[in-house]
Amino acid sequence: MSNKLTVGITQGDSNGIGYEVIIKALADERMLELCTPVIYGSSKIFGFYRKQLHNIGQVNTNVISNAKDAHPKRVNILNCIPENTCIEPGLSTPDAARAAIVSLERGVEDLKNGEIDVLVTGPINKRAMNNEGFGFTGHTEYLKTSFGTDDVTMIMVAEQLKVGIVTSHIPLKDVPGALTVEKILTKLRALKHSMERDFGIHSPKIAVLGLNPHCGDGGLLGDEEQSVILPAINAATDEGILAFGPYSADGFFGLGNYSRYDAILAMYHDQGLAPFKAIAFESGVNFTAGLPAVRTSPDHGTAYEKAGKDVADPRSMISAIYTAIDVYRNRQAYDELVENRMQVKMPDNTIKPKGGKIIE
């Protein structure tokens, strides 16, 4: 039990499919052998959605007020949502938006304080939350500000496909102006580091997509490939990053060329996420690279049209939990390896690896 991780799970929008996929994901007893789950939400709302599900067994729960009190053999529910929160499956409401904000804030607070090991966030309605004063365009932006990090990168993760994004939640018309050599280079550095530290991929090969149709057709359809993207790739290559491209997105995914690379860097949100979800929607995971802590989420939204109907697919939520645990373990192993490789300079200019023999 001492090796089990405590996995915090925020409920997301309580009128969407968040609770359903969470309950279905945690209904398998094997999940409790792997981790100790803590749901940031409401035992009342959990009970409401649990009654709508007919093909799962008993789910043993434990209601707590602090994550440190989590029972290792139970699905723990940390009550942090107002008791009078109204449940209206399938509807976007102020109550559900405020509940999503409270759940996220409490989960992130506990993640920062080390009360939980990793955080998995349930799907939210960004517009509804902003109407209630949230002030961020998504989880990624909120987490960046909460942790005070210089930069974070959205990476969509599946077993056969990993896609990073240069620009995430901005209007499409603003994308060309937001692309710079340094920004793309920064994302390539981050993607390489994440592949190595978070996913255990040594010297990852990264494919870089162009911006314009057919990569601009030699300038006929735009010159960002030549003026911005290619210089960034060349600069990355000079740093030892295995970056290739730019490639036209349509042929790259249509011909299956993505399978030749460990990761892909897309220029904007839908350029990367549309093909990713077409290929790996059921098991896809959204991962925030660059944070000092681990956060994942399912790759889908609130799906109001499915809420309360016992039809939501939990596979992406299951994958998000597994991925969070795997990344946490990979980071531990990577950091230990780096620590063991630390070298100490000797007075006679020889090198002594930590714990090793002197190298002339």
Tell me 70's DSSP state: -
Strand residue runs (E) in the chain = 5-10, 35-41, 61-64, 75-79, 118-121, 153-158, 161-165, 205-209, 242-247, 263-266, 285-289, 294-298, 343-345, 351-353
In whole angstroms, what is the distance from residue 20 CA to residue 114 CA? 27
Closest by CA to 14, choosing from 79, 134, 140, 103, is 103
Q: Is omega for the bond preceding 292 within 30 degrees of 0, making it cis?
A: no
CB distance 294 to 118 below 8 Å: yes
Q: Kindly give the pairing relationship between strand 351-353 and strand 343-345.
A: antiparallel
Across the chain, mean pLDDT equals: 93
In whole angstroms, what is the distance from residue 206 CA to residue 260 CA? 9
Residues listed for the chain: 360
pLDDT tens profile 44-96: 999 999 999 998 888 999 999 999 999 999 999 999 999 999 999 999 999 99
pLDDT tens profile 5-22: 999 999 999 999 999 999
CB distance 303 to 312 below 8 Å: yes
In whole angstroms, what is the distance from residue 164 CA to residue 48 CA? 37
Q: Where are the domains of the chain?
A: 1-149+291-360, 153-286
Q: How confident is the model at residue 313 (pLDDT cuts 50, 70, 90)?
A: very high
Class of domain 1-149+291-360: alpha beta
Closest by CA to 13, choosing from 302, 355, 311, is 302
In whole angstroms, what is the distance from residue 217 CA to residue 326 CA? 41
Residue 33, φ and ψ in degrees, nearest 5: -80, -20
Q: Is the pLDDT of residue 280 over 80?
A: yes
Q: Is the dihedral of CA 340, 341, 344, 350 positive or negative?
A: positive
pLDDT cut 70: percent of the chain above it: 94
In whole angstroms, what is the distance from residue 140 CA to residue 296 CA? 10
Segment 293-300 shows an average pLDDT of: 97
In whole angstroms, what is the distance from residue 268 CA to residue 275 CA? 12
Segment 201-208 shows an average pLDDT of: 97
CB distance 30 to 116 below 8 Å: no
pLDDT cut 90: percent of the chain above it: 85
In whole angstroms, what is the distance from residue 101 CA to residue 136 CA? 11
Fold matches, 1-149+291-360 and 153-286: yes
Q: What is the pLDDT of residue 179?
A: 97
CATH architecture of 153-286: 3-Layer(aba) Sandwich (3.40)
Q: What is the pLDDT of residue 220?
A: 87
pLDDT tens profile 238-273: 999 999 999 999 999 989 999 999 999 999 999 999
Strand residue runs (E) in 80-198 = 118-121, 153-158, 161-165
CA distances to 84, 234, 263 from 254, in Å: 50, 26, 16
Q: Is the pLDDT of residue 351 over 60?
A: no
In whole angstroms, what is the distance from residue 266 CA to residue 191 CA? 11
Helix 18-26 vs helix 43-50: crossing angle, to nearest 10: 80
